Amino acid sequence: MAAYENVVGKPIERIEDLRLLRGRGTFSDDVRADNQLHAVILRSPIANGTIRKLDVAPALEIEGVHSVIAAAEIGLPVPRVPVRLFPLPELEPFEAPVIADVRVRYVGEAIAVVLAASAAIAEDGRDAIELEIDEHQAVSDLDAALAGRVLAFERHGTNVVVEYSASVGDVDAAFEQADYRRRERFHVHRHAAVPMETRALLAEWDAHAGRMTVQGAAKVPFANRRILAKLMGIPETSVDQIELDVGGGFGARGEFYPEDFLIPFAARHTGLPVKWTEDRRDHLMTSNHSRDVTCELEIAARRDGTILALRGSAVSDVGAYLRPAGLIAPRNVAMFIGGPYHIANYHVTSKVLLSNKTPSGTYRGPGRFEVDFFRERLIDMMAGDLGIDRIEVRRRNLVPPDAMPYLLPPVAPAPSPSALDSGDYRITLDRCLEEFGWREKLALNGRLIDGFWHGIAASCFVEGGAAGPKETARLISHGDGRIELRLGSAAVGQGLATSALQIAADALQVPMSMLTVRHGSTTLLEEGFGAYHSRSVVMGGSAILDAAARLHGAVRQAAGRYLNCSPEDVVIRGATARGPSGREIAWTALGEMSADGAFLNTKHTYAYGAHAAHVTVDPGTGKVGVVSYMAVEDVGRIINPMTLHGQTIGAIVQGLGGTLLEHLVYDAQGQFLTASFADYLMPLATDFPDLHGVSLEMYPSPINPLGAKGAGEGGTIPVGGVIANAVAAALSSLGVQPNALPLSPERVWKSIAGASGQVGTRSK
């Protein structure tokens, strides 16, 4: 038999793609059920108000309208969606209700669910409902919200519901001893993940069996099953969450939203299957928003650019309620402002502020995108003030290899210690500069050429991954040559099936063609933990290794009986088991065998790298053009360089869209102004044609047997900072210092027009 050739590390095309490109995928809106009802949701047109009248009778008079569900049908008190990550008992009053009862707190909040024979009839029913709301002043202005002049929850007495704090060292003493100090105020605007596929659900209730089936699960099906079962008062084992193909996730798709209760409840209430598909307006208005962070950050350093301390205070506007993952970004803001740099003295607070806007959740690089913008802008400003090369300042302050593992500042309340696990951060910086052609491009920096200002910049970052506590896998040898892999992780477009099969094939030393993979659905395994925090390969892949080792153990037992030898004497080579006598058998023909594997983990991986950008700025319009972009990241161990490259480039494009184009806007009364793609600008394929990524595997992670590090978010994290620094470099002769995103043409043009060269406060 020819020796097996390992497939981990090879650029194998995604096995998912051929089916999807041929139009043979099954997405949430593709599924149908006999006699299904279509749901449309009446949403609040007011940001903050009290419902005075809700008359659904006109809707029920329309032919084809089956029923209308409001708070009265659900029962009081209205269930609330719990915080999933880092919950605290004192935050429960601010969790999102599944439907408005008396009070509405953001434009788009669900008030009633109309069920009809078609979506069009349901929309007619929704429009016929008579709704009157007494409007109150909205919490929409940051300074007024902090001052408490208008309150989102009057009884609470403040709009701040929790404050995170991260500290190490003696910050005040470091600032006293510093040669240089500078403080700046920064802002990253509200924008969001906008996947190609909007949310959709089909819920079916089997009254005889007492079982709920929900198709359209994504990201965390097992967690959502647990939440739904509790809210509906049924056993967790009576809920099946079925994962289908997913047209993009990026942190937003798959969290538990009010609709994830309302649609199953409607199915049980009516006894009929209920289908709901979100339109783009509803998606932009009600799916998790993200970012929207303001920060005052101060740096202290020696004259040679050595950073002595960072201190600052940030405020995250998370909208009207706390959603399941709504605390992650504010918490990360406190923890990761230091990024990849050694900063011995550090104190950052991060306030979570409620307002009358759509609630926030996670979006690729939550909290980290924001703090990279804050920190990297401040480092460039410091380098300019001190007259030190921007790259040298970064190289001088990066965490050195001999400091690994490098403990990150603990965050209170509920500290969960973490440490940078491995790496030499200077290597990725130097490789990025080399691949980018930094020395050659320096000649263009700050020059006006053919009517365009040119600027270049580079920055460094870290990317966290591998959130625990666990992931599961099961391998089943069916006895006919087929081996089935079941995985507790979920697929959200990241190529999970391909990477998982590569890992399983190598672990079993069999061709990938012998394997099939199923993932995500709660019917496949007793428990699973899903796809978030760049965890699927590290956690799921490590669980596969454990399952493979256990399956080989089962093979040895079965083969030993067949070959009349001790299991310890069985040698497995690929799909063959051989005994000491030389007799052998294809172990995949020994009958059905299965093995469960798991990987438990309390530590995180940290991929790291550097990005560099060359931009132009049109002084007449303020438009920023991206001439070229380079990303280099060490991901520990590469499973599939092709899928990894796709992740990198796609993540860069999302970062560029958020930096230059995308902006969710509200007016003073909390009215949502960007509810279509005519107003919310998304990047096109032609906008950023020259993007490059290089992935390294020089420092495997010591915390998992694969040595892999999560790599789904690193392409996004540093983009805002590096682009803003490049714009500042381009406009350096004008003294323009961008302190806020997005860098839209209007904002950049106004900065150019009003440039004075005096920005911020500094002392030497």
Domain containing residue 423: CATH number: 3.30.365.10
**Is the full-model pTM beyond 0.85?**
yes
Indicate if 557 and 678 belong to the same structural domain.
no
**Domain final residue pick, 600, 634, 657:** 600
> What pLDDT shows up at residue 347?
98
Same domain flag for 316 and 340: yes
Q: Is the model's pLDDT at 757 over the cut of 70?
A: no
Final residue before a domain boundary, out of 564, 583, 600: 600
Buried b (16+ CB within 10 A) or exposed e, 137-156: bbbbebeebeeeebbbbeee
Let me know: does 581 contact 528? Beta carbons within 8 Å: no
What's the total number of domains in the chain? 3
- In this structure, the answer to whether residues 576 and 700 fall within a common structural domain is no
Among 300, 286, 308, which Cα is nearest to 109's? 286
CATH of the domain at 81: 3.90.1170.50
CA–CA dist 334, 349 (Å, integer): 6
Give the model's pLDDT for residue 527. 96
Same domain, yes or no: 429 and 294: yes
In a domain, 578, yes or no: yes
- Tell whether 688 and 756 lie within a shared domain: yes
- Name the burial class of residue 449, with classes exposed (0-12), middle (13-18) and buried (19+) by CB atoms within 10 angstroms of its CB: exposed
**Can you give the pLDDT at residue 611?**
98
Element (H, E) at 147: helix 142-147
* Residue at 11 is within a domain: no
Whether 538 has a pLDDT exceeding 60, the answer reads yes
d(CA 138, CA 132): 17
- The reply to whether 145 falls in a domain is no
Give residue 199's pLDDT: 96
What is the DSSP pairing of strand 307-317 with strand 345-353? parallel
**Strands, E assignment, 466-586:** 470-477, 483-487, 515-519, 571-573, 576-578, 584-586
The pLDDT tens digits of the residues spanning 701-727 come to 999 999 999 999 999 999 999 999 999
Interval 423-482: pLDDT, tens: 999 999 999 999 999 999 999 999 999 999 999 999 999 999 999 999 999 999 999 999
Average pLDDT, whole number, for the chain?
96
Judged against a pLDDT cut of 50, whether residue 635 lies above it is answered with: yes
User: What pLDDT does 513 receive?
Assistant: 95
Q: Strand 571-573's sheet: what is its strand order? A: 571-573, 576-578, 584-586
Q: Are residues 508 and 360 both part of a single domain?
A: no
pLDDT exceeds cutoff 90 at 1 = no
- If one counts every other C-beta atom within 10 angstroms of the C-beta of residue 233, the result is 7
Residue 19: count other Cβ atoms within 10 Å of its Cβ: 12
Beta bridge partners, 360, equal: 289
Q: Is 143 part of any domain?
A: no
637 and 756, same domain (yes or no): yes
Give me the mean pLDDT over the 87-91 stretch: 95
318 in any annotated domain: yes
Specify the residue for token string 């923890």: 335
Which residue, chain included where needed, has tokens 């600008």? Answer: 681
Neighbour-count burial of 9, counting CB atoms closer than 10 A to its CB (0-12 exposed, 13-18 middle, 19+ buried): middle
In this prediction, residue 760 carries a pLDDT of 38
Q: How far apart are CA 245 and CA 218, in angstroms?
A: 9
> Quick check: is 148 in a domain?
no
Single out the residue of 410, 417, 387, 320 nearest to residue 360, CA to CA: 320
Structure tokens at 59: 């809707």
Compute the distance between CA of residue 318 and CA of residue 329 in angstroms, rounded to an integer: 9
Q: Are residues 626 and 702 in the same domain?
A: yes
pLDDT at residue number 415:
85
Q: How confident is the model at residue 416 (pLDDT cuts 50, 70, 90)?
A: confident
Determine the Cα–Cα distance for residues 198 and 286; give it in Å rounded to an integer: 11
Q: What is the pLDDT of residue 758?
A: 41
What strands lie across the sheet with 452-465, from one edge to the other?
A: 448-449, 452-465, 605-617, 624-634, 691-696
CB atoms within 10 A of CB 478: 14
Say yes or no: 472 and 460 in one domain: no
566-582 pLDDT per residue, tens: 999 999 999 999 999 99
Among 541, 573, 600, the domain-final residue is: 600
**Residue 162 belongs to a domain:** no
Confidence at residue 634, expressed as pLDDT on a 0 to 100 scale? 98
- Dihedral, CA atoms, 431, 433, 437, 439, nearest 10 degrees? -130
For the ranges 15-29, 31-45, 443-457, 724-738, the lowest mean pLDDT is seen at: 15-29
Query: d(Cα 146, Cα 355) in Å, to the nearest integer?
Result: 10
In this structure, the answer to whether residues 753 and 632 fall within a common structural domain is yes
Instruction: Answer whether residue 363 shows pLDDT above 70.
Output: yes
Residue 101 belongs to domain spanning: 31-136+198-246+253-286
Q: Are residues 325 and 228 in the same domain?
A: no
In order of 500, 557, 593, the CA distances from 554 in angstroms are 21, 5, 7
Dihedral sign (CA 580, 581, 586, 587): negative
CA distance 490 to 525: 12
* Residues 511, 365 share a domain: no
Could you tell me if residue 540 is inside a domain? yes
DSSP-assigned states of every residue in 316-372: EE--SSB-TTTTHHHHHHHHHTTTTB--SEEEEEEEEE--SSPPB---SSTTHHHHH
What average pLDDT does this structure show over 377-383?
A: 98
Share of the chain above pLDDT 70, in %: 99
